[in-house]
Structure 1
Amino acid sequence: MAEASAPSAQKRGNIFKTLELDTRLLGMIGAFIVVCIVFNVLTDGRFLTPRNIFNLTIQTVSVAIMATGMVFVIVTRHIDLSVGSLLATCSAMMAITQTQLLPNMGLDFGHPLIAPVAIVVGLLTGAVIGAFQGWLIGYLTIPAFIVTLGGLLVWRNVAWYLTTGQTIGPLDETYQLFGGIGGTLGVTGSWVLGLIAVIAACIGIWNARRARIAYDFPVKPMWAEGVLMVIAAVLILGFVAVLNAYEVPSRVLARAFEARGETMPEGYTEGYGVPYSVLLLIAVAIVMTIVANRTRLGRYIFATGGNPDAAELSGINTRLLTVKVFAIMGVLCALAGMVASARLSFHSNDIGTLDELRVIAAAVIGGTALSGGMGTIYGAILGALIMQSLQSGMAMVGVDAPFQNIVVGAVLVVAVLVDIIYRKRTGGK
């Protein structure tokens, strides 16, 4: 039996090698599938319904956005414990701008400029605070752990003072579109997006092959490229199909028809489709991936994380680089704050609480090395999805919130242990 199974195992290994699939990524996908199956069984099939997957997706967005920035922070051998509190401060600034500052300046509630101006204020707030923390770390050489630990306390309470401890809302209707369920592409728009994404994925795979040929690098056989294209198409269109399958409640549709002075046809249904917040996450992921892989800033970030002394000797301004990395983190915290408050339709004092734990855990589970120099954007997003799946599944099963945090903390420790073992066995690759 052992002799018979050895060739099949070798064959599977050769297939994975031919397709050049990342074993770490496959492991994370496998873990995610196991989590989904277990909770689907425990919830009698309620976990893998279109409705729950839709909610799981929009709940993941804010943490995933910040996790992409945390990759850069950890890669440069720093840490940011203030992201949840910074999110709260940015959210408070955007809420105050919408409900107090702009109305006092003559812009009535519902004015088309309210949402854009509020978002710009939030982004500037995040960038300034992030750059300030980066300056303390880079130029005054205060350890990032201390600076951001202080930021965790400072910015959480700054947010409280900005709102005098009150819940601020309701927020602007246009602003709320970024929350998820209130703003989606609809079925047709989602299918169009899915087809565009499939075409873009296939072009990307083909261009990568051409680039390898141009530089005389070894390439995969054509059948392997075709398999990757098919896998990408199935995943993208399957995701769109699931989100489209979540139907808008009939009472909501009826009110929409009534508002237009029309009568809803009998048996009429409509799916939600892809939320705008997911589009924002996709845009952030694309931009951050391009920065990481295609720009000088990205090369400097990974070079500094790999060997800070060598990077500085080679002429990289590591101090200014630190400021830039934390400024990027601040901007992403503002975007996450926008998504989180828009989803709630108001700003609350506890918004972003414990997000620093979730964000760091997502980055580490996604393969970002705490020793610096290694990390991927897609890995951090998948890590965020795994973390949110754990919490959502435990909530559906009826697990108390304190025990949920115990599980999250334990998973973080196990993820670091697995990362250490994996890197030892693969020679640090």
Structure 2
Amino acid sequence: MTETTHQPQAQDKAEGAIARFLRATELDPRLIGMVGALLLIWVGFHLYGALVLGDGSFLTPRNLWNLSVQTASIGIMATGMVLVIITRNIDLSVGSIVGVTGMYMGLLQVEWLPQYVGLGHPMIWIVTVAFGIIMGALIGALQGGMIAYLSIPSFIVTLGGLLVWRGVAFLASSGRTISPVDSTFALIGGGPYGSIGATGSWIIAAIASAGVIWLVLNGRKNRRLHGFPLRPVWAEWFMGLLGCSIIVIATLIVNSYPWPKGILKDYYATLGQDVPEGVFIAHGYAYPVILLAVVAILMTILMTRTRFGRYVFAIGGNPEAAALSGINTRAMTVKIFALMGGLAGLAGVIASARLNSATNALGDLDELYVIASAVVGGTSLAGGVGTIYGAIIGALVLVSLQTGMVLIGFGDGSYRKIVIGAALVLAVYLDIIYRKRIK
């Protein structure tokens, strides 16, 4: 079998250099647009702070590290919302699921389990995390079952869930704040102790870079095996170097953010030592960010490499045809909403651990940001179109907007809501234009 690569044709010559580059590398123009918008937001906020306020603090290791942690819980839920929206459904209850799972996890580890195993038992955080994820999945499955088997629109079921689960969370604690959570559980929320440090970060970077190289080589091997046209060698090199460069740059940033002086003092006090002169301990990647990366990889594999993912896109493209082809669309709906609920439970773990408490405000309005992240990231409300990486970039865009407005002095939540709402409407409008152009 002969190998074929993309050769310049007359049509290619008529195209511009950018079009030929995109064709060779197979980069998604919408992805490039989202990344460009993200970089524009970052640079804009930083320059505004530097030139107008005299303090360009956005593009600093400290802020970018915090930005990654703040994105984690929203990004994790956005990966599940992609599946929900692709199948022409919606889930308005995810914020309330975060709240109710977070509240019950707080009660479990603060008031219930210590009665039987004692405070600080090493199994407390494991049981609590498993409980939160399973509880979220069961709530999602219940809502999915009502949508699939009772034919109640997902908008109505999850709107009811938004109210019901928020009320259940309030009643469970009688309006109290449950704190502090288990010390090991709290590490999952990030912070100086909830990070893996410089050495661990470079180990992860090396593994991730090796994974990028393997993906490029394996992808070329599979194309050759199945007789598909091969990308130019330079394009393969470019994609590999691009992926590895992003990983290295991200690692350099997180390793450039040192522990605060107060944390250093407390840390060395526990060792019975004074803080050494000029000591530098890097945060490295925070646990929430690592969880987000793991979820993103697993969800991408689920969507692109499994029968389940093919069924999701088939249902989103044409639900009636999918049912006639033998796909059990009802069971798939239950599974998708159960997965969404489980991811919301995991987000509840991160959110409550980060606050070191379970409050009645936990997850408030998260449904807005999760849906907006998926849509801004290119998931079409018409169904059938969406990507995991797009949703995560969308979450990063929205969190960047919120953080940037706080840094430049627009800390009022009203301004943030206006901007997020406008971004959501603009994203839907751009999606409509894009769909018209590709038809």
Class of the TM-score when normalised by the shorter of the 2 chains: over 0.9
The aligned counterpart of 2:32 is 26
Once residues 8 and 40 of structure 1 are traced to their aligned partners in structure 2, the CA distance between those partners, rounded to angstroms, is: 39
The aligned counterpart of 1:402 is 414
Q: Alignment partner of 1:116: what SS?
A: helix
**AA paired with 1:140?**
L
- Match runs of 1:53-202 below 5 Å: 53-105=64-116, 107-181=117-191, 182-202=193-213
The aligned counterpart of 1:269 is 280
- Match runs of 1:325-404 below 5 Å: 325-399=336-410, 400-404=412-416
For the structure 1 residues 264 and 211, does the alpha-carbon distance in structure 2 shift closer, same or farther, using more than 3 Å as the test?
Answer: same
Q: What CA deviation, in whole Å up to 9, does each residue of 1:370-399 have, x standing for no partner?
A: 111111000000000000000110111121
Once residues 166 and 9 of structure 1 are traced to their aligned partners in structure 2, the CA distance between those partners, rounded to angstroms, is: 63
**AA paired with 1:351?**
L
Matching of residue 43 in structure 1 with residue 49 in structure 2 = yes
Tell me how far 1:9 sits from its aligned partner: 8.0
Q: Alignment partner of 2:386: what SS?
A: coil
Tell me how far 1:96 sits from its aligned partner: 0.6
For the structure 1 residues 409 and 11, does the alpha-carbon distance in structure 2 shift closer, same or farther, using more than 3 Å as the test?
Answer: same
Once residues 409 and 12 of structure 1 are traced to their aligned partners in structure 2, the CA distance between those partners, rounded to angstroms, is: 32
Q: What CA deviation, in whole Å up to 9, does each residue of 1:72-111 have, x standing for no partner?
A: 0001110000000011011011111000110122x22211
Once residues 9 and 60 of structure 1 are traced to their aligned partners in structure 2, the CA distance between those partners, rounded to angstroms, is: 38
For the structure 1 residues 8 and 395, does the alpha-carbon distance in structure 2 shift closer, same or farther, using more than 3 Å as the test?
Answer: farther
Tell me how far 1:8 sits from its aligned partner: 11
Once residues 10 and 81 of structure 1 are traced to their aligned partners in structure 2, the CA distance between those partners, rounded to angstroms, is: 43
Asked if the contact 1:177/1:183 (under 8 Å) is kept, the reply is yes
For the structure 1 residues 8 and 41, does the alpha-carbon distance in structure 2 shift closer, same or farther, using more than 3 Å as the test?
Answer: farther
Q: What CA deviation, in whole Å up to 9, does each residue of 1:174-203 have, x standing for no partner?
A: 111110113111011101111111111111
Asked if the contact 1:187/1:272 (under 8 Å) is kept, the reply is yes
Once residues 31 and 219 of structure 1 are traced to their aligned partners in structure 2, the CA distance between those partners, rounded to angstroms, is: 30
Q: Alignment partner of 2:273: what SS?
A: coil
The aligned counterpart of 1:3 is none
Once residues 267 and 133 of structure 1 are traced to their aligned partners in structure 2, the CA distance between those partners, rounded to angstroms, is: 55
Once residues 21 and 329 of structure 1 are traced to their aligned partners in structure 2, the CA distance between those partners, rounded to angstroms, is: 28
**AA paired with 1:246?**
Y
**AA paired with 2:422?**
A
Q: Alignment partner of 2:177: what SS?
A: coil
Tell me how far 1:127 sits from its aligned partner: 1.0
Q: Could you list the runs of 4 or more consecutive aligned residues of structure 1 that deviate by over 4 angstroms after TM superposition?
A: none
Once the two structures are overlaid, the 10-residue window that deviates more, 394-403 or 274-283, is: 394-403
Once residues 18 and 314 of structure 2 are traced to their aligned partners in structure 1, the CA distance between those partners, rounded to angstroms, is: 35
Once residues 98 and 206 of structure 1 are traced to their aligned partners in structure 2, the CA distance between those partners, rounded to angstroms, is: 46
Once residues 325 and 20 of structure 2 are traced to their aligned partners in structure 1, the CA distance between those partners, rounded to angstroms, is: 40
Once residues 251 and 320 of structure 1 are traced to their aligned partners in structure 2, the CA distance between those partners, rounded to angstroms, is: 53
TM-score of the pair, normalised by structure 1: 0.96
Matching of residue 426 in structure 1 with residue 438 in structure 2 = yes
Q: What CA deviation, in whole Å up to 9, does each residue of 1:17-52 have, x standing for no partner?
A: 211111000000000011001111122220011000
Tell me how far 1:265 sits from its aligned partner: 2.1
Q: What CA deviation, in whole Å up to 9, does each residue of 1:144-170 have, x standing for no partner?
A: 000000001111111111111111111
Asked if the contact 1:250/1:269 (under 8 Å) is kept, the reply is no
Asked if the contact 1:32/1:386 (under 8 Å) is kept, the reply is yes
Percent sequence identity is 50
Structure 2: runs of 5 or more not aligned: 1-12, 51-55
Matching of residue 209 in structure 1 with residue 220 in structure 2 = yes
The aligned counterpart of 2:17 is 11
- Match runs of 1:244-283 below 5 Å: 244-283=255-294
**AA paired with 1:372?**
G
The aligned counterpart of 1:411 is 423
Once residues 282 and 124 of structure 2 are traced to their aligned partners in structure 1, the CA distance between those partners, rounded to angstroms, is: 29
Once residues 192 and 356 of structure 1 are traced to their aligned partners in structure 2, the CA distance between those partners, rounded to angstroms, is: 35
Tell me how far 1:401 sits from its aligned partner: 0.8
Q: Alignment partner of 2:143: what SS?
A: helix
Once residues 183 and 341 of structure 1 are traced to their aligned partners in structure 2, the CA distance between those partners, rounded to angstroms, is: 14
Once residues 155 and 262 of structure 2 are traced to their aligned partners in structure 1, the CA distance between those partners, rounded to angstroms, is: 50
Once residues 371 and 357 of structure 2 are traced to their aligned partners in structure 1, the CA distance between those partners, rounded to angstroms, is: 26
Once residues 314 and 14 of structure 2 are traced to their aligned partners in structure 1, the CA distance between those partners, rounded to angstroms, is: 40
**AA paired with 1:154?**
V
Structure 1: runs of 5 or more not aligned: 1-6
Once residues 17 and 326 of structure 2 are traced to their aligned partners in structure 1, the CA distance between those partners, rounded to angstroms, is: 47
Once residues 17 and 338 of structure 2 are traced to their aligned partners in structure 1, the CA distance between those partners, rounded to angstroms, is: 47
Matching of residue 219 in structure 1 with residue 202 in structure 2 = no
Once the two structures are overlaid, the 10-residue window that deviates more, 41-50 or 327-336, is: 41-50
- RMSD across aligned positions (CA): 1.2
Q: Alignment partner of 1:245: what SS?
A: coil
Q: Alignment partner of 2:113: what SS?
A: helix
**AA paired with 2:186?**
Q
Once residues 399 and 15 of structure 2 are traced to their aligned partners in structure 1, the CA distance between those partners, rounded to angstroms, is: 33
Once residues 346 and 43 of structure 1 are traced to their aligned partners in structure 2, the CA distance between those partners, rounded to angstroms, is: 33
**AA paired with 2:383?**
G
Asked if the contact 1:134/1:324 (under 8 Å) is kept, the reply is yes
